Structure formats: C-alpha cells, structure tokens
Amino acid sequence: MLTRMGTGLGMMGLAGLLGDEKLLAGDAESAAQAASYQNPLAPKPPHFKAKAKHVIHLFMTGGPSHVDTFDPKPLLNKYHGKPLPGGENLRTERKTGAALGSPFKFQKYGESGIEVSELFSHTAQHIDDIAVIRSMQAEVPNHEPSLGLMNCGASVAVRPAFGSWLTYGMGTDNQNLPGYVVMCPHGYPTKQTQNWQSAFLPGVYQGTYVDTRYTEVEKLIENVKNSHLSLDEQRRQVDLLQQLNAQHREQRGFDPALESRVQSFELAYRMQMEATDAFDVTREPKNVLEAYGDGIQARQILIARRLVERGVRFVQVFHDQGQPWDSHDDLEANHRRLAGQCDKAISALISDLKRLGLFEDTLILWGGEFGRTPTVELPKPGSNAGKVNGRDHNHYGFTCWLAGGGIKGGQVYGSTDETGFKAEENPVHVHDLHATMLHALGFDHKKLTYRYAGRDYRLTDVHGNVVHELLS
C-alpha cells in the first residue's frame, strides 16, 4: 500500500511537471489544435468558381399574391365573381368561392416583354435583369412550416438557415461585421428567430437581428457605443480581458466554443466603428437617398446595399413584423400599400449595385413563403374579417424572382395553370431554388454538408435539382 501510494504521489508530481512544460499528451493535442485553429468566419473558397459572392433576400413575409404581381391571369378577370372552370377541384386551406380578378393592371416591360403588375412598375424597369420563376412550389399552406422551408430548407425539423449555411461554407469578407445580418422592423416576423437560426451549426453562423424601425445606430445595435470609456480605454480593457481569457483557455485546453466566445469580444470592439458607419444612411449622397425614397423599407434596403458593399455575406430584409403580406381581406388596399413601400427602393437597389460594380457579385431573391389563391376567400370566424375581398394561402404554385450574380435575366421560367392555382410547366420546389442559388455561389448543394447526429446534413436535405436555365 505504501509503495503504491508513494509511486502514486510521485506520478502526480511528475504529471504536474510535465503539465507545466506542456508535455502531456492531452496538452500536446490541445496545443496542436490551438495552433491549427482558424477563425470560423475567415473567407473560404467555394467548391468551384462562383459568380455570386453575396446574397440579399427581400422577403415579403406573409405570401404576396403572384396573380397580382408577376403572374398575370386574364381568365380570372373573365370569370370574376363566377365559379372557375373546374374550380370545385381546387383544394385550399380555407373555404374559397368564385374567381377573384386582379384589380391591378399588367404591362409588358423591357426588351424581354415580360408582364408585370402596376404594383411593381419601378422594379419592372429592370425586368431584363430579372429571372421570374412562375412555377414555385412549397409543401403546405401554413406560414410557419413554409417559412421554415424557405429559410432553412425544412418545414418541420430545426435546421440551419440559408445564411448560416453560406457563412459556414464561405466565411465573410469583413471581420468587423457579422457575416449574416437580418433586418425586420418593429419586432420579429412569424416564426421569430428560427428563421435565421444556426441550429446544429456553430453559433457564430447564426444571423444577427436588427430592428430597422430605429434610425439612431445606438438603438439599431444595442451597446454599439460605450458612453463611459473612450476607444483607447476600451482597447486596453479588451486587451486585458483577452489576456485573462488566454490563461483561462490554457487551463482547459482547446475548445472551439470557448474560442468563439473569446473572439466575440474582439469583434464587438471592432464593430463599434464599422457598424456605426454601415448603418448610417445619412452618409449617402442626396441623389442616392432620393432614389431609394422615404420610409423604413427604403432605409433598410439601402442598408442592405451598404452591408454588401462592406463584405457582409448574407443580408435578409423582412418587410415587417408578423406576416404583413397575408391579405385574407382588403387585398387591393394592402398589396398596393405594401408594394408602394418597397417598389421604388428595390429598383434603386438594382441600379445602385450596378453603379458600384456589385450587381454581378450580388444574388438577389424576392418573394414570400407561398402565393395566394385565384379564388376569393369566404368568411370564416377567426380566419378573416369576412369582407370577401382577399385570397387564401396557396403553396401549389407561386412566384419569386432572382437577379444579379450568376442569373440569366430577362426570362420567365415555368408557369402555373391558366387560373394561377398550380405550377404546371417546369415546377420548381424550394429545394430546387436553394440548389440553384448555391450553384450561383459556387457550391454543389450535395457537398456543402455538416456532420451531425451520425449523418451528413445539407440545406437541401436529400432533395433539390439545379435549374441550369436560370443561370448565366
């Protein structure tokens, strides 16, 4: 017993000496890991040469009506107030009735002659740069699962958002700003932070939320400025904190989660200067501000351009809290109001990106989580106000559009049937849309994976086909 105890005490002493000299196997492994550690947001090359380097997602939350925006259906006006041919076979979430003709005029624009509603007459000036997909399909006619599908590639399970996948795959060009920024005024959209979650990916890839109702940078980003200490004093404070964190790290070995936490302090310090500049649109020339127009939508779309200009990888712009485009009632008034808030700014965004030489590098996606029915929604307690002038949800066929990096503009891809109810020609599932966007960004969607729970996961799960006709 004494021999073993003596040997044990001796080994404990030896272990202490070896540990001090970093000669233990565990310490050597930790040292090797620390030496090989790389910033998770450092720029990384994609699978192949990419045409797009950044994404701006203009999300019309709630489901804009495709038959009132980018997919004209004259048959609806012909049968307005009457049953549609074969209309009894249209399966809708809520009970609907007769055909509801569009109250908006459509007109051909550009050399391509693509028809666009008067709602987006400014955006239509760039139609030759836009690929309109009229045959989109989702899986269910409910907001939450459809938002999950459009943002994260999964309608039920918790999965990383598109922006998280992209920053995981490519990193970001500006280490002083988050790689993935989400803007939504007045609060969260439906499904809240799950729309920009990183899920099982490291937390550093999660979207950074900004409430764009505010104009002061201090309110846009909490604690972005320190009112008590100067930048020099903060620098000394951060340096001391980093020294203490380094000692803490040495005692525990290399841990990626701990390293990310340590790095976040440095990023927070650097963001004070960079973010203040990026979010301050008053620094723009008068003619640029006038081009975008007034209001929250104009400001946040302009901020999106300023963020992309500074190297942010993925910028998502939600129209407003909740699901503003969800027009079960008063569709004409609501769609006219909502489109009026963003149409001019979207047009200015495309012009501005071209002016700055960023259009070919920036992939723009416009759309909602699904479309709306060609038939009028009937009154139902708890579902609508009973005005009989709105449309129900429709996931069978709807429209989104792409423009910018890697996209062949001036084309319409796919179509819905003559009523606009169901995708008929060249259906494009949301997984196909994601696969195509990733291809424009230089990724094979089947190879951008992350090992979790015993298998390799990807944004498109086990689905998705690249629509090569959309690519330039």
Q: Which residue has the tokens 């048959």?
A: 75
The pLDDT value given to residue 274: 80
Q: What are phi and psi of 133, to 5 degrees?
A: -100, 110
Say if CB 62 and CB 97 are below 8 A apart: no
Mean pLDDT within 397-409: 97
Q: Which tokens hold the place of 27? A: 């310490």
Taking only the tens place, the pLDDT of each residue in 440-471 is 999 999 999 999 999 999 999 999 999 999 99
Mean pLDDT within 154-173: 96
Does residue 87 carry a pLDDT above 70? no
Alpha-carbon distance of 340 to 331, in angstroms, equals: 14
Taking only the tens place, the pLDDT of each residue in 13-53 is 444 444 444 445 555 555 555 555 577 889 999 999 999 99
Q: What is the DSSP letter of 188?
A: P
Does residue 226 carry a pLDDT above 50? yes
**What residues does each domain of the chain span?**
52-58+70-470
Say if CB 150 and CB 430 are below 8 A apart: yes
Instruction: Note the CATH architecture for domain 52-58+70-470.
Output: 3-Layer(aba) Sandwich (3.40)
To the nearest whole number, what is the mean pLDDT of the chain?
90
Q: What are phi and psi of 407, to 5 degrees?
A: -105, 140
The pLDDT value given to residue 16: 45
Does residue 287 carry a pLDDT above 90? yes
Confidence of residue 216 (pLDDT cuts 50, 70, 90): confident
Taking only the tens place, the pLDDT of each residue in 241-250 is 888 888 887 8
- State how far Cα 461 lies from the chain centre: 18
Alpha-carbon distance of 175 to 39, in angstroms, equals: 9
Say if CB 370 and CB 61 are below 8 A apart: no
Mean pLDDT within 265-289: 84
The pLDDT value given to residue 247: 84
Alpha-carbon distance of 16 to 22, in angstroms, equals: 10
Mean pLDDT within 46-71: 97
The pLDDT value given to residue 40: 86
The pLDDT value given to residue 366: 98
Does residue 293 carry a pLDDT above 70? yes
Mean pLDDT within 181-202: 95
Confidence of residue 205 (pLDDT cuts 50, 70, 90): very high
Does residue 252 carry a pLDDT above 80? no
The pLDDT value given to residue 254: 66
